Each structure stands twice: as C-alpha cells, then as structure tokens.
A and B are shown apart, each in its own frame.
Chain A
Amino acid sequence: MYVAVKGGERAIENAHAWLAEERRGDSDVAELSIAQIREQLSLAVNRVMAEGSLYDPDLAALAIKQARGDLIEAIFLIRAYRTTLPRFGVSEPVDTGVMACDRRISATFKDLPGGQVLGPTFDYTHRLLDFKLAADGDVPEAPARAAEPGDVPHVTEFLNREGLIEEAPHDDTPPPDLTREPLEMPADRALRLQALTRADEGFTLGLAYSTQRGYGRNHAFVGELRIGSVPVEMEIPELGFAIEIGEVTLTECETVNQFTGSKTEPPQFTRGYGLVFGQTERKAISMALVDRALRWEELGEDFEGAPAQDAEFVLYHADNIQATGFLEHIKLPHYVDFQSELELVRKLRREAGAAQTQEAAE
C-alpha cells in the first residue's frame, strides 16, 4: 500500500542516531578531543575560521569534530552559529605593518628590510609519506632565535616610493557589510574583498588558476606574503579611546601585477590583495589574483569574458554554504514538479506520435 512518504519523523530521528554513532567511529579507538583538533589539525581549523567568518579556534575545532571532518559542513555550523551572535561593535582596522610575522617572503626582491622568513611551510618538504608519524609523533625541538626587533615594512611601499606601483589611496568610508546587507551589484572593491575572504578555497583557487592560464591573465608576482599575529583594537565608547582586545593570526598576500598603462595612466604596476584569517596561504594568494582580475574596469582594461573578471559570476557563486545548500537540495522530493513534467512529456509524445502516424497514412 501507499507508504512511500509515511514515517518521516521516525526516519529522521533514526538517521540522526546512526549519524552520531558513525561520527564516533569504533569506540575502542580513543575519542578526539577539541584540543587535539585545534593543535594538530590547525590548518583545517584555520580554513573553517576563514570561510566561517568567525575567529574562534575552539569553536572551529568543535565544528570539525561534529562534522566528521567535512570542512564545508563545519563551516556551515560556524556560520549558523555566528549569525545568532549579538554585535557589540566594530574593531579598528588592523595594521598588518605591525604583524609579528611567522612567515614573510617576497618573490620580487632577493632581500629586503625585515628579511625573508620561511616559517613553518610545506614549500620545500619532499612529499614523501612519513611512516614514522604512524608510529610515534615525537618531534625534536625546532631551532629558535629571537625575532628581529621593529616593524616589517610592506614591499609595495618601496615600489610606491618610486611611483612604480599604483597608489592605494587611504579611504575611511565604512565598508559595506556582506553579513548584514544583501549583496547587490555592482559591488565595490571592499565588498568584493569581503566576499572573497570567506569564499570557498577550491573555487577561489580554480578561478585564480584560470587567470594564470590565460582567462583574464594579469601576470602576478607575489610581492609579499606574510603570516603572523596582529593586535585587534576596539574603541570603547565609555573610555573614548581604543584598547587592545586580543590578537588574530592573518595571512596577507600582496601581488604586483603587470600593467601596460591605459589612455589615462602611464605604465606602472598594479595591485591585487588577499587577506584571510589564520595560516591560509593558498587561499590568500588565490584571493589576490582574483581581486586583481576583478579590477579590470577601474583600471580601464578590456573585459575578455573570462570567468574571473566577471564580478556577478564570481561573487554569486563563491560562497560554499550557498552553493552546497542549493546543490544538495535536489536530493529533496521534487515529485510534484516531476509529475507535471511527466504529464507534459507524455502529452507532447502522444501528439508527436499521432502526427507521425498521420504522415505515414498520407
């Protein structure tokens, strides 16, 4: 008899119970702690914080645990949580010039003030499985020395002094807030950067890669990539001045891009910019390349029809929470719509069949 859709409620409860059991896995194996995830899967934690738009390593680690390691699902948990939080205020803009850098490299100058610091990078590791890690995880202590005193100046400042790179004029206009206002086109650069910093890493990487292969090519040099912590300051109305309320780790990438000049501008280098929560280097570089590609209009370049140049295409499809939700919703029942399509196709086929029979008879 007709039972296809009955029992939805019990099915859901049972599915949830099964899911909880699967998440835990074999109970003879020790359970993961939040601290373990936070400390040992920190790059996953960083991605969840960046795309979840919430800087909280413990919550991100919890989300990863709850999501069974599915990072998009974890990002979703964080987003759904963050949207319920009251907003007390807005911080001062962070100054990446005072960053305590763990890593700072420039691909455009061999040496420069502040120095080249490789930091904890995979870059020059040989990608050989380390079977020792499967047995024991003890690591020898890494050599250490005191950091160079003083701030680390930005590479682009040196270029700017010679007028070789476009000015990045200071602008105090409060940026629009993607999380509180609907996204509307055309989007200015501040809004585009806001969307890109929480955009899906894979999508951003794919777009950035496409510019390198000629779809909106803008030949980027990594002028500078820096990773480290910066203080966050907030002005407290009762005090009347800004105080430091904490620090965040950021990855900042500034690209220096070719530009042949236009009718109004002499030849000079142009900028692409990426700034992302946590140690998220691939994402920050990708973001800078896509940022630069999206700037074609203000720089008087041609629109080549490349996906990475198309702000509507990029911004409306970069959010993995929107994308995954809509993609996966096609799992939901659609039998009402499908039924109406069935009726239509049957009708059209009937008529086509009748027409053919008639033609054959004639």
Chain B
Amino acid sequence: MNAYNFAYLDEQTKRMIRRAILKGLAIPGYQVPFASREMPMPYGWGTGGVQVSAAVLTPEDTFKVIDQGADDTTNAVSIRTFFERTAGVETTTATADASVIQTRHRIPEEPLAEGQILVYQVPIPEPLRFLEPRESETRKMHSLEEYGLMHVKLYEDISRHGHIATSYAYPVKVEGRYVMDPSPIPKFDNPKLGDMAAIQLFGAGREQRIYALPPYTQVISLDFEDHPFEASKADHCCGLCGTTNSYLDEVIIDDAGGRMFVCSDTDYCEARQAAGHKGKDAA
C-alpha cells in the first residue's frame, strides 16, 4: 500500500477535514459541511468515520474499531484492517488502551478518559430529517433554533403510545443550543454523551457533514417534565459475564426460540469474564 499516503487520504484532504473538525469542536453540535471523498468502501459503511479517523490518526496512535459494540463484527474487522494496511498503526480491542476508537451504533461501557477520541459513524446527521426532508429547510430551522417540530413529534408519540417511541438515535440538545443526532446508538448510551472526558467526533460521509462534542460538553436528551428521558435496555443480566448494567444483545440459541442475553460490548464482557465474573449461561 506504499502508493498511498499515511492513513490513505492525501494531506490536503486531511487538512480540509481537520478544519471541519476544529470548527465542529468550536460550535458543539453544529453540522459542518465538508467535501467528503469517495473512499474505497461504500457510502453508508462508515466512510464519514473513516475519513475523520484518517484525519486525526498519527503514527503513534492505537486504534480500536467496534460495530454494534463488538470488535469482531465483519465491518469492524474490515475498517480495522484498512487502517492496519494504510496507516500501519497499532490496533487493539481493549477500550482503555486505544487512543482513537471508531464506533458504529455504541459507546463503550467502560468510561473513556481524557486524551481519547471517539469517532462515530453517522448515517443521517440531521435530527430533523424525517420531520423535514429538505436540507435547505432544516439548516434554516437550526439557525433559527426552531425545534418546535421535534417537540411536537415527541409529544405525539406520548399521546399515541404513552411513551416517546424513539429507542435509538434519540435526539439531544447540546449546550442549550443545537439539537443533534447522536448517531444510531441505543438511547441506553445517551447519558454517556454528556460530560465525557474524551473528544467525540461524528462523521457522515455520504451526507458530507462533520460535528463534534468537545470534552465535558453538556448534552441533554430531549424530554418533557412529566415524561422524563429514560435510558432503557433488556431487563436481564449478561449470560456470559453476569453484569446487570451493560447494554445487551438478544441471541436466539435454538429452534424452540430459546434465547440468551449477552453484552454487546465484547471487550467489556471478556474483561469481566477474565476477572472471574460468570453469568448463568457461561460454559
């Protein structure tokens, strides 16, 4: 892969992306347009996250990639291999050892520290998109801080279902200003967004947007006084490590529809098992 620059992108492109990242950090929650490049993986498969990672990685970094919380899902493997080949950086599955973590759909269970960067892959960066399909309109709504439509949507959910019927990509308000899409993380992860010690960067390649949360930013999940936000998960404990406070995947294990619940964060689960914790389904 010597024909390509460090971390694939040429330095001009990285500079353009870094500028967008810096602007995003300066205006938390604001979607910065950037000239997204075609990457050697398809749009919708993490090209935004890959471009952001490529722009922030240095040769000294240690890189971790997760998809659905797991290091060994196929697309996580593919993206990790891509950076092993093009950047030659160290990779790891241990959350604490990574300086840059690229993620799709989860925030690691283990709290992140200062000096770490969490890069999110974002499919649809616009939280208002499914209420208003026109980009020209939604940008206007953000600039005028006109978020009534979003509250009406949440209210209609409550009047119809008794609950806010959004379980992932749950909208948040950043520092009292921008309403932001946290990417399709389960709302269980939303409380981790705020006050995080690490830098959080969001890259949407196809939609050509970057946004960011600097460390210790105030991030509040939208709700109503009488219907407060509630982080939810399956009401079980992990079958392998026994934890009660991690986000769980439901796995069907036999033809009779038998199922077990296991941590979606594989590194967290393995570390607990290595420390001797055992769930009821552990071998």
Residues of A within 8 A of B (CB): 1-2, 4-9, 11-12, 76, 79-80, 82-84, 86, 179-186, 312, 316, 321-322, 324-329, 332-337, 339-344, 347-348, 351
Q: Which residues from A are CB-within-8-Å of B92?
A: none
Q: Is the interface of A mostly helix, strand, loop or mixed?
A: helix
B264 within 8 A of A: yes
Q: Which residue of B lies closest to A310 (CB)?
A: B134
Digit string of B16-54 for contact with A (CB within 8 Å is 1, else 0)?
Answer: 000000000000000001111111101111010000000
Given A180-B35, A339-B248, A341-B167, CB of A8 within 8 Å of CB of B44: no
Digit string of B195-226 for contact with A (CB within 8 Å is 1, else 0)?
Answer: 00000000000101100000000000000000
Q: Which of B78, B168, B208 contacts A341 (CB 8 A)?
A: B168
Q: Which of B165, B240, B249 contacts A336 (CB 8 A)?
A: B249
Q: List 6 A-B contacts (CB under 8 A).
A: A8-B72, A12-B77, A329-B45, A337-B167, A340-B232, A341-B168
B153 within 8 A of A: no
Q: Which residue of A lies closest to B43 (CB)?
A: A325
Q: Which residue of A lies closest to B34 (CB)?
A: A182
Whole-angstrom CA separation of A332 from B121 in the bound complex: 13
Asked if A325 contacts B240 (CB within 8 A), the reply is no
Q: Which residues from B are CB-within-8-Å of A339?
A: 186, 234, 247-250, 264
Q: Tell me how many residues of B have a C-beta within 8 Å of chain A.
A: 68
Q: Which residue of A lies closest to B45 (CB)?
A: A329
CB distance from A175 to the nearest CB of B (A): 15
Q: Which residues from B are CB-within-8-Å of A343?
A: 167, 232-234
Whole-angstrom CA separation of A180 from B16 in the bound complex: 10
Given A312-B134, A335-B68, CB of A340 within 8 Å of CB of B187: yes
Whole-angstrom CA separation of A326 from B44 in the bound complex: 4
Asked if A336 contacts B106 (CB within 8 A), the reply is yes
Q: Which residues from A are CB-within-8-Å of B34?
A: 182
Q: Which residue of B lies closest to A328 (CB)?
A: B42
Asked if B33 contacts A80 (CB within 8 A), the reply is no
Given A2-B251, A326-B44, CB of A8 within 8 Å of CB of B163: no
* Known A7-B72, A12-B81, A344-B167; further 13 A-B contacts with Cβ < 8 A: A9-B72, A76-B38, A80-B39, A84-B4, A182-B36, A183-B208, A184-B33, A324-B42, A325-B206, A326-B123, A332-B75, A334-B105, A348-B161
Q: Which of B44, B78, B233, B262 contacts A329 (CB 8 A)?
A: B44
Whole-angstrom CA separation of A334 from B206 in the bound complex: 19
Q: Which of A181, A324, A325, A333 contacts B35 (CB 8 A)?
A: A181
Q: Which residue of B lies closest to A7 (CB)?
A: B72
Given A2-B251, A84-B10, A332-B67, CB of A12 within 8 Å of CB of B74: yes
Q: Which residue of B lies closest to A326 (CB)?
A: B44
B residues 216-262 near A (Cβ < 8 Å) are 232-234, 239-240, 247-251, 253, 260, 262
Centre residue among A181, A336, A343 by max chain B CB count within 10 A: A336
Q: Which residues from B are CB-within-8-Å of A342?
A: 234, 250
3 tightest A-B contacts by CB?
A: A325-B43, A329-B44, A325-B42
Q: Which residue of A lies closest to B161 (CB)?
A: A348
Q: Which of B44, B168, B233 contacts A337 (CB 8 A)?
A: B168
Residues of B within 8 A of A (CB): 4, 8, 10, 33-40, 42-45, 47, 67-70, 72-78, 81, 104-106, 123, 133-136, 161-163, 165, 167-169, 184-188, 206, 208-209, 232-234, 239-240, 247-251, 253, 260, 262, 264, 266, 281, 283
Asked if B249 contacts A8 (CB within 8 A), the reply is no
Q: Which residues from A are CB-within-8-Å of B33?
A: 182, 184
CB distance from B233 to the nearest CB of A (A): 7
Given A9-B77, A336-B249, A347-B163, CB of A185 within 8 Å of CB of B208: no
Q: Which residue of A lies closest to B36 (CB)?
A: A182
Asked if B134 contacts A326 (CB within 8 A), the reply is no
CB distance from A178 to the nearest CB of B (A): 9
Q: Which residues from B are CB-within-8-Å of A6?
A: 72
Q: Which of A84, A185, A325, A333 contacts B135 (CB 8 A)?
A: A185
Q: Which residues from B are CB-within-8-Å of A321?
A: 38, 42-43
Q: Which of A82, A185, A336 contacts B264 (CB 8 A)?
A: A336
CB distance from A183 to the nearest CB of B (A): 7
Whole-angstrom CA separation of A324 from B253 in the bound complex: 33
Q: Which of A8, A180, A344 contacts B165 (CB 8 A)?
A: A344
CB distance from A171 to the nearest CB of B (A): 23
Whole-angstrom CA separation of A322 from B75 in the bound complex: 18
Whole-angstrom CA separation of A312 from B251 in the bound complex: 41
Asked if A80 contacts B123 (CB within 8 A), the reply is no
Q: Which residues from A are CB-within-8-Å of B45?
A: 325, 329, 332
Asked if A348 contacts B165 (CB within 8 A), the reply is yes
Whole-angstrom CA separation of A344 from B166 in the bound complex: 8
Q: Which residues from A are CB-within-8-Å of B136?
A: 185-186, 312
CB distance from A256 to the nearest CB of B (A): 31
Asked if A86 contacts B206 (CB within 8 A), the reply is no
Q: Which residues from B are CB-within-8-Å of A351?
A: 162
Given A2-B240, A336-B69, A348-B165, CB of A326 within 8 Å of CB of B186: no
Q: Which residues from B are CB-within-8-Å of A7?
A: 72
Asked if B283 contacts A1 (CB within 8 A), the reply is yes
